[in-house]
Amino acid sequence: MKRDMDLIRQILLYLEAETPVEKGGFYSIDFDSMVATLGSTFELVNYQLILLYEANLIDGAAYRGKGYPSGSDRLYENCSVISVSPRHLTWKGQEFLETVRDEEVWQNTKSAAKSVGSFGLDTLKELGKGFIKKKIKDHTGVDVDFDDADA
């Protein structure tokens, strides 16, 4: 299955807008509602959530599968994440979302990434920051320089 950066952006926007609800003593976002709202499939959204969780862009409960091969004595903690019940965005997730929130910036970012053949998270974030800087300069005449601690 492939990473879908458009869907990842949509998931981040969705998670930011939603309030986690209590389910069995744990607060999380209603997964079925999210899938329906995004107009996607369980499998595709789940895979993107796993990637978001592994990249530390979202917080939530990670459910792990049994070890391989079947009957392996590996502990569940060492097994692959097979599902994530999202709770909220992390600081890193919020920062990435702010970089790609604006639709014009997002479209320019994707286009630039596609032209150089790189859709990595860091590449998208840096391209997005560049387009935001340009937009700020165009609107205010001010050159801004984000240092890494703030961006």
Same domain, 69 and 118: no
19 in any annotated domain:
yes
pTM for the whole structure: 0.80
135: confidence class by pLDDT, cuts 50, 70, 90: confident
Measured CA to CA, the distance from residue 63 to residue 83 in angstroms comes to: 5
Examine the domain organization and report whether 40 and 67 are in the same domain: yes
Q: According to the model, what pLDDT value does residue 19 have?
A: 84
pLDDT tens-place string over residues 106-125? 999 999 988 988 778 888 88
Per-residue 3-state assignment (H helix, E strand, C coil) for 18-86? CCCEEECCEEECCHHHHHHHHCCCHHHHHHHHHHHHHCCCEEEEEEECCCCCCCCCCCHHHCCEEEEEE
Residues 70, 133 within the same domain: no
**Rounded CA gap, 68 and 71, in Å?**
7
Residue 126 located in a structural domain: yes
CATH of the domain at 54: 1.10.10
Whether 149 maps to a domain, the answer reads: no
Phi, psi (degrees; rounded to nearest 5) at 142? -100, 130
Let me know whether 9 and 45 are in one domain: yes
Q: Are residues 116 and 72 in the same domain?
A: no
Q: Which domain holds residue 9?
A: 5-89
Question: Are 14 and 79 part of one and the same domain?
Answer: yes
- Do 28 and 69 lie in a common domain? yes
Residues 57 and 25 in one domain: yes
20 & 48 share domain: yes
Cis bond before residue 20 (omega within 30° of 0) = no
Residues 80, 113, single domain; the answer is no
Q: Tokens at residue 43, please?
A: 């499998």
DSSP summary character for residue 117: T
Give the model's pLDDT for residue 72.
47
Does residue 150 lie in a domain region? no
Q: Determine the Cα–Cα distance for residues 66 and 77; give it in Å rounded to an integer.
A: 9
On whether both 132 and 81 belong to a single domain, the answer is no
Token representation of residue 112: 């630039």
